[in-house]
């Protein structure tokens, strides 16, 4: 696919990326930057955010928490001030707690919902207000939006709710030509998952339930992200697209 293919052209589109310092967010930022997008990046981890900023000259980059409305509005305002508009948004911020449900921490459950769901709604709302008419919003959901894994009560609940939220926002904002979608990857090796995947038994089990026989990689998601931001994805909305090597077929 040529980078100047009009179906997949994203050059000069102003795109917000939440969680831009993480494994998925940083790959998204670097790929979109190489394709000429104008980026507004934020992450709660300043060290990781600055590393991405160094690789992507000309971006707006601020330390920020997706659950903090004032910080979100300040980041969007800075992006609007530099680029004059917001065309798209990719939300790659999130938490992945795993613990036995019988003795799970209620505080951990609430924090997971706050970041993965409430933060996603808040970002959608702030971004959509800035877009006005015409825009693309993408959230990173999970195969856990659909499948049930033991010890995933908080995470799976947040991601299942996220997928339904995407459907509601998509239906409500379609008349404004704002599309809202999610991508549901299988287990990906990123800084968020590396502690779990370092355990041989966990890694073996994670791979065993993926028919293609491997973990996902950040690069596996980039084609879908580009599609949903570009003209080729203009009529796709309200969907959770599973990029999962067949995980949701099991």
Task: Convert the pLDDT of each residue in 136-186 to its tens digit.
Answer: 999 999 999 999 999 999 999 999 999 999 999 999 999 999 999 999 999
Q: Indicate the class that CATH gives domain 11-188+218-242.
A: alpha beta
Tell me the average pLDDT across 113-129: 98
> Where does the pLDDT of residue 1 fall: very low under 50, low under 70, confident under 90, or very high at 90 and above?
very low
Annotation says 152 is catalytic? no
H/E stretch holding 155: helix 153-173
Distance of CA 85 to the CA centre of its chain: 20
Cα separation, 131 vs 139, in Å, equals 16
**Boundaries of every domain in the chain:** 11-188+218-242
Q: For residue range 25-54, list pLDDT tens digits in order.
A: 999 999 999 999 999 999 999 999 999 999
Residue 63 has a pLDDT of 98
CA distance 95 to 159: 10
Residue 2 pLDDT exceeds 80: no
10-33 in b/e form (b: 16+ CB < 10 A) is: beebbbbbbbbbbbbbbbbbbbbb
Quote the pLDDT of residue 250.
Answer: 72
Per residue in 185-243, pLDDT tens? 999 999 999 999 999 999 999 999 999 999 999 999 999 999 999 999 999 999 999 99
Q: What is the pLDDT of residues 47-98, one digit of tens each?
A: 999 999 999 999 999 999 999 999 999 999 999 999 999 999 999 999 999 9
Start-to-end CA span in the chain (Å): 31
Tell me what pLDDT residue 5 has: 87
Q: How many residues are present in the chain?
A: 250
Whether pLDDT at 4 is above 90: no
Catalytic position from the list 152, 155, 196, 242: 155
User: Please, which pLDDT band fits residue 3 given cuts at 50, 70 and 90?
Assistant: low
């Amino acid at each position: 696919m040529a980078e100047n293919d009009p179906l997949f052209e994203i050059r000069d589109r102003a795109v917000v990326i939440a969680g831009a310092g993480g494994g998925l967010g940083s790959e998204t930022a670097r790929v979109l930057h190489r394709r000429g997008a104008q980026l507004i990046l934020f992450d709660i981890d300043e060290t990781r955010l600055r590393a991405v900023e160094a690789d992507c000259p000309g971006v707006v980059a601020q330390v920020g928490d997706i659950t903090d409305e004032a910080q979100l509005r300040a980041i969007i305002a800075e992006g609007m001030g530099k680029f004059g508009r917001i065309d798209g948004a990719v939300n790659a911020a999130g938490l992945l707690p795993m613990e036995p449900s019988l003795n799970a921490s209620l505080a951990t459950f609430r924090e997971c919902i706050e970041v993965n769901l409430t933060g996603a709604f808040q970002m959608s709302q702030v971004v959509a207000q800035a877009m006005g008419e015409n825009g693309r919003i993408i959230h990173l959901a999970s195969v856990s939006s659909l499948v049930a894994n033991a010890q995933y009560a908080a995470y799976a609940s947040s991601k299942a709710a996220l997928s339904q939220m995407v459907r509601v926002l998509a239906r409500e904002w379609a008349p404004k030509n704002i599309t809202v979608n999610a991508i549901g990857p299988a287990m990906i090796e990123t800084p968020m998952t590396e502690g779990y995947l370092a355990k041989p038994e966990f890694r073996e089990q994670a791979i065993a339930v993926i028919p293609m026989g491997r973990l996902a990689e950040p690069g596996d998601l980039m084609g879908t992200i580009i599609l949903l931001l570009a003209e080729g994805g203009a009529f796709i909305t309200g969907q959770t697209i599973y990029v999962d090597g067949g995980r949701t077929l099991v």
